[in-house]
Each structure stands twice: as structure tokens, then as C-alpha cells.
Amino acid sequence: MSELERFKLQEFLKELRGKQGRGTELISLYIPAGRPLSEVMEVLRSEYSAASNIKDRTTRHHVLDALTAVMQRLKLFRTTPPNGLVVFAGYVAGDVPGNEKLEVYVLEPPQRLNVWLYRCDSRFYTEILEDMVAVKGAYGLLVLDAGEAAFGILRGKTLEVVKEIESGVPRKHRAGGQSARRFQRIIEQLTHEFYKRVGEYAEKIFLEVPDLKGIIVGGPGPAKEEFLKGDYLHYQLKQKVLGVFDVGYSGEAGIYELVNRAQELLRDVQYVREREAVNELLYNVARETGLALYGEEEVRRALQARAVRTLLLSESLKKDRVHYRCRACGDEGWATVEAGQRASCRKCGSQDVEELERLALIEELAKLAEEGGSEVVLVSTETGEGKEFARVFGGVAAILRYKLAEA
């Protein structure tokens, strides 16, 4: 599943999760791969018979209608698709009581479905699909020196600094009245105790991550090597250490630097891909190389010319691309509008237009990119770079394969 497909499904599930029924009227049906549809239809006919006895007239009518709609959709399939099938159906409550509308959604899950579920509730049950599209796999990050340590978790688009601790080890200078050897023994004992605490926190934090793919360790001095050579880290975590890197800082700043240092190891993590793409865009903009464009129209022209190597789109981009025909002047064209808003005629300004097609702007631009062989990077708003990208560049930018001739 591509990042764009994952994003679209996540947005759809988010919207679906917000829908409510008047009562227990919304049907969620999960059909596992390989289950005969004839068996499913038998179950639904049995549910239809049971629903006929519901006392409340409106609820009975809504549930029977939803079951009928589900059975009609299933008749369009000869067999269950390879990954199974998911159907949501029911009367969704509107803004005004009594203004419910029957909605039906049928989709094939992105992974093989092994569970059967029929549920009639006041909401759609989306948790199984949400788990499928959730980003799997996390990396533990640990930076330490003689003075402090920090622990972080990198998952998908999110980098979280979980904990920072201080060592309490004094600087290596002579204390009044103490021999150098005795002072050194005190430092070694405190360092040993600090490493033990680091190991305990690492065990507490990282062993709680069920899908931990690996641990990356860094620090500005020899402490990281001393820690790993000693018997301080849990054996299960020791086996997951992927690399050790020199970084200039400890603490939170060291965590962020460690991610930069370990980019080759983390090449497949979306957080790293996003940062690389945004930093490359900023580099080209700052140096006026002519290989960076931003703004919807400029980027669309470059996509149509197949000159885009990487298309960057912010996940905060909530706009639609509408194909319309104006009833007033007959003009036909495309317009970009805020999500859900009506389009106006670009020629005469009339809002009396017939809507021929509507796409999310992200989807439309990504489709152009796919046709031109461009890479698409979706930039989240969960990082400082992502928020700045959305604010400064309007959420649409491109890195070009070559400079375009000025119009």
C-alpha cells in the first residue's frame, strides 16, 4: 500500500468514524477472505428476519433498509475478493432530527482479512481497518554521555522524545581534601549507577513497544560504547541494536541529530523521507537553482510537462478539484475550491454550475504525478518542518528533474 493510498483510507475511516446513527441502526460487516458469499447471505437473511421484530417503527425500517442495501451490493460479487470484503451501511443522522440519509460503503481491505464480524450499532465499527492502515514498526533511539541520557521513539511520521535523565556524576576535577584515586572511584561508581538507570529506563520504555524493529544508539563521547559493552542493557534489546553513531549533543537535541546521522538505516521511515524531501526543497529555494516550484498552478504546469521528480503535498491540504459546466454561459472547465464548497464559473462568476466530477486536490495532483513517473511525498503536520511547509508553501511544492524555460 502506497503512502497516498494509506492516507486516503485513513481520511475515509476518520470521516466514517464521525458518523452517527439515530439508534443501533448502522451495520458493519467484515467478510473474511475465502468465506462463501452464499453463507454470508444466509446470515443476513436471518438478521433480516430478526430485525423485522424490532418494536420501534423507525429503527425497524432503517435496519431493514440497510440490510437490503448490503445484500444488494453483495449480489454484485461472484466470490469474496482475495483480501475479503468490508461493508458499512445505515441511516446516518443529519444536522436536523428526522433528516437521516442511507449511506452504503463497500471496500476491499488492504490486507487479508481473517475475522468475521457482523455488528449493528449507533456507529460504524472501523477499528479492524484502522489497525490495518496503522504504521507498523517503531525504532528506539538512545543518546547518552557522562552527564545525561535521552530516550526517543520514531514511528512513521512521529518522533517522540519520551524521557530525559541526568547522571549526577560530577565533573572530573579534584575536590578539596580528597585523593585523586578516591575521587576517581566515586566517579566510576556513580557512572556505573547511571548506566544501570539508563538500562532500566531503556527496558521500561523499549520493551513496552510491541513492534520495535531496532534500537539506534548515539552520543558525543565514549559513554555509549562503555554502556553497550557493559551488562546494562536487557539482552532482548541488545540484540536489536542496529547501529552506534557519534553525535554532537546529548539530551533532546541529540535525539534529533541521531535521526539525521542514521538516515541510511532509517531510509524507509516516513519521517526521514519527509525531512529529506523538505530539506532538499528548501536548499533549492534558498540557492535559487530553478529546480524548486511551489503553488498549485505552477506545480500543475510542471507536472503536465513531466518535469517533476518529487511532488510534495501537505496532509493539511483540504481542497477539491471540480470539473464543472456553467449553466449561465456554457463555459466548461476546472476550478479549485475549499473541500465541500461549490465551484464558481471562471468566465462569468456564476455559481449556477453543473458539477461533472469532483476530486480531492491531493488525489488529482498525485494522479498527475503518477502519470509522469514522479515520486509523491505526503508531508504531515506533526513535525515543525511539516507545519512550516504548509504555512510557507501552501502545502504544494515540487522538486524538478530539470529547469523549466520561463514563460
The domains of the chain are located at: 3-133, 138-171+187-268, 275-319+358-400
Whole-number Å distance between alpha carbons of 212 and 313: 29
Q: Per-residue confidence at 172, pLDDT binned at 50, 70, 90? A: low
Architecture category of domain 138-171+187-268 in CATH: 2-Layer Sandwich (3.30)
**pLDDT value for 405:** 77
> Which pTM was predicted?
0.70
Helix (H) or strand (E) holding 218: strand 212-219
Q: Indicate the fold that domain 3-133 takes in CATH.
A: 3.30.960
**pLDDT value for 48:** 95
In the 8-state DSSP scheme, what is residue 340? T
Q: At 90, is the secondary structure helix, strand, or coil?
A: strand
Helix (H) or strand (E) holding 285: helix 270-286
**pLDDT value for 4:** 81
What proportion of the chain, given as a percentage, has pLDDT over 90?
Answer: 66
- Express each pLDDT in 347-381 by its tens digit: 898 989 999 999 899 999 999 999 999 999 999 88
308 CB neighbour count, 10 Å cutoff:
28
Architecture category of domain 275-319+358-400 in CATH: 2-Layer Sandwich (3.30)
Whether 16 shows a pLDDT value over 80: the answer reads: yes
**pLDDT value for 222:** 92
